């Protein structure tokens, strides 16, 4: 406890520090583990960036994780699972990055990787729970992009409507 807490709460005894167990990542046991891990810690995101074009936006999809640095091996394991290379992460524009706040992130954003690897994977090994709804919305936007609807004002509106009702904005 800090000196200030000790002074303000003298009747509370300081706890004896306990050594916590250290988790050693032993690899991904099966594909359903990835589905469960994604349900708990993963994120399906739709990004719209303003541009000076006729449509006015660039649409991209992002499958990502942001974890404590102690979980770096887990993210490398995920990267390896999807591509056998934690360096490339499916393709060269994927990242396992280390942030200054002692956290790590994995981001997969290349459209062909999302369409050809991530979506088929989760179709085969479904996510359970609320995040499955975000995945279904993510798939809808992928289909809109695949059909070039993101290049039309109506398509952008549809994508924006989907995005505004995903993740923390979802209404039940």
Residues ≥6 apart with Cβ < 8 Å to 151: 55
Structure tokens at 32: 């359903």
Predicted confidence (pLDDT) per residue in 148-170, tens digit: 999 999 999 999 999 999 988 88
106 - beta bridge partners?
65, 96
Spatial contact of 48 and 159, defined as CB atoms under 8 Å apart: yes
Contacts of range 89-97, beta carbons closer than 8 Å, 24 or more positions apart: 90/117, 96/72
Burial class (CB in 10 A: 0-12, 13-18, 19+), 27: exposed
Spatial contact of 94 and 111, defined as CB atoms under 8 Å apart: no
- Supply the pTM of this predicted model: 0.78
For helices 153-163 and 131-146, the axis angle rounded to 10 degrees is 170
pLDDT of residue 150: 94
Predicted confidence (pLDDT) per residue in 62-120, tens digit: 999 988 888 888 988 888 888 743 433 433 344 556 666 778 888 889 899 899 999 99
Q: How many CB atoms lie within 10 A of CB 114?
A: 23
Going from the N-terminus, what domains does the chain have, and what CATH number goes with each?
26-169 (3.10.28.10)
Compute the distance between CA of residue 21 and CA of residue 106 in angstroms, rounded to an integer.
Answer: 25
């Amino acid at each position: 406890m800090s000196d200030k807490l000790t002074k303000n709460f003298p009747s509370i005894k300081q706890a004896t520090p306990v050594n916590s167990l250290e988790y050693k990542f032993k690899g991904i046991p099966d594909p359903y583990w990835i589905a469960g891990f994604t349900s708990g810690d993963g994120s399906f995101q739709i990004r719209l960036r303003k541009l000076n074009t006729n449509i006015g936006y660039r649409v991209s999809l992002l499958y990502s994780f942001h974890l404590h640095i102690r979980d770096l091996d887990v993210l490398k394991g995920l990267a390896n699972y999807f591509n056998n290379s934690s360096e490339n992460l499916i393709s060269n524009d994927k990242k396992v990055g280390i942030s200054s706040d002692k956290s790590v992130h994995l981001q997969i954003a290349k459209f062909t990787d999302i369409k050809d690897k991530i979506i088929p994977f989760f179709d085969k090994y479904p996510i359970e729970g609320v995040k499955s709804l975000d995945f279904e919305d993510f798939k809808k936007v992928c289909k809109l992009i695949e059909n070039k609807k993101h290049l039309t004002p109506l398509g952008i509106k549809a994508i924006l409507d989907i995005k505004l009702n995903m993740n923390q904005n979802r209404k039940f």
